[in-house]
Structure 1
Amino acid sequence: MRWIAVFVVVLGVALVAMAGYVRLAPSDADRWHRFVTPGPPGDSPTQGGFTARRVVEGDPQTVMTTLDAVAQDTPRTRVLAGSAEDGFVTYVTRSAFWGFPDYTTVYLTRNDPQAGGATTLTIHARLRFGQSDMGVNGARVRGWMDALPAGVLQSPAE
């Protein structure tokens, strides 16, 4: 019976230590605030992440400013690096219970040859810990895009 109590205490301490590390580990802007490999407009789900690229139909700076307001209005989200004015910003969004950080980088590529010379908005979301985000990054990216006014982004099929 004593071994069970010791095991439970050790397990509890390990869980508290893990939770503390996940919540308190610093976020290195140099590691997360980066462009991704260029690609054509559309969605690209990956293990633990999601990338969406859309051709901008409206004013690119207005799209970026509006998207920044949507992102900063998302619960548990803050800016890690960059700014909407620069057209390149990375956000950290933490899960409610454990505080797992997900990083979302948003940027504009002006006169993108992959988009026929138009301006492309890229939203690249990925997790830091683990291997599966259970679809939360894709859902967040789609939610951010859906919150933009109609007609400012071209659908990927166009």
Structure 2
Amino acid sequence: MKILILLAVVLVVATAAGAVYFRRVADDPTVWHVDPLTATKPDSPNAALIRPAGGDGTAPVFAVPPLELAAAIDDFALGEGRTKRIAGTPAELWMTYVQRSALFGFPDYISVRVLPEGEGATYAAFSRSRYGHSDMGVNASRLARWQAALETRLGN
């Protein structure tokens, strides 16, 4: 019985320590601020990539200037909760965000590049997990959610 109690205590302490660690791990922009147009998607199923061509999906062309699209992406991303921008700005048309999971604070990194396209703009985005082999579709769902929000806000 004492061993079971000891194992339970160790499990609780390890879980708490893990939650603190993952919430406090540094987000190094020199590592995570990558261009989604040239980024290489890992072999593991914990990333999603949207590009004008050659990604998991294609972003639509919005009938707005690139700066307006970049500002809309930034507003939505920062409004999602547990998200902060770690590199770039809408004025640069290239931003990288970290979004942490609710329970343990696992970091996912999302790099977005806005591109002029004819009279409007489109984007490329690369969303990936820092830890783990599989993300259970979280990164692909995130990019789909962001795209749906942009289409609602900006039309298409």
TM over 0.5: yes
The aligned counterpart of 2:155 is: 150
Determine helix, strand or coil for the equivalent of 2:27: coil
Structure 2 unmatched runs, 5+:
52-58
TM-score normalized with structure 2 length:
0.79
- Separation in 2, partners of 1:146, 1:119: 16
Deviations 1:58-111 (A, max 9, x none): 222211111111111112111111101101100111111111111110013457
Q: What is the distance in 2 between the residues matched to 1:8 and 1:144?
A: 40
The AA in structure 2 aligned to 1:48 is N
1:9 corresponding residue in structure 2: 9
Pairing partner for 1:90 from 78, 88, 96: 96
Q: Residue type of the partner of 1:143?
A: R
Question: What is residue 87 of structure 2 aligned with on the other side?
Answer: 81
CA distance in structure 1 between the partners assigned to 2:73 and 2:37 by the alignment: 21
Give the corresponding residue for 1:105.
Answer: 111
Preserved contact between residue 69 and residue 114 of structure 2 (Cα < 8 Å): no
- Please tell me whether residue 18 in structure 1 is matched to residue 18 in structure 2: yes
Corresponding residue of 2:61: 56
Distance 1:77 1:37 in 2: 22
When normalised by structure 1's length, the TM-score is 0.78
Once the 2 structures are TM-superposed, how far is the Cα of residue 120 of structure 1 from its aligned partner?
4.5
The alpha-carbon distance between structure 1 residues 46 and 8, as it changes in their structure 2 partners (threshold 3 A), is closer
CA distance in 1 between counterparts of 2:131 and 2:46 reads 9
Deviates more, 1:72-81 or 1:7-16: 7-16
Q: Quote the sequence identity (%).
A: 35
Would you say how many aligned residue pairs link Structure 1 and Structure 2?
141
Instruction: Return the alpha-carbon distance in structure 2 between the equivalents of residues 28 and 21 of structure 1.
Output: 15
Q: Taking structure 1 as reference, are residues 131 and 33 closer, same or farther at Cα in structure 2, changes over 3 Å only?
A: same
State the 4+ residue runs in structure 1 displaced beyond 3 angstroms. Answer: 36-39
Counterpart of 1:138 in structure 2 is 140
**Post-superposition shift, 1:139?**
1.4
Helix, strand or coil at the partner of 1:82: strand
Give, in angstroms, the shift of residue 36 of structure 1: 3.4
| Distance across 1 between alignment mates of 2:91 and 2:121 | 15
| Structure 1 residues not aligned, in runs of 5+ | 40-44, 152-158
CA shift, 1:126, in A, is 0.5
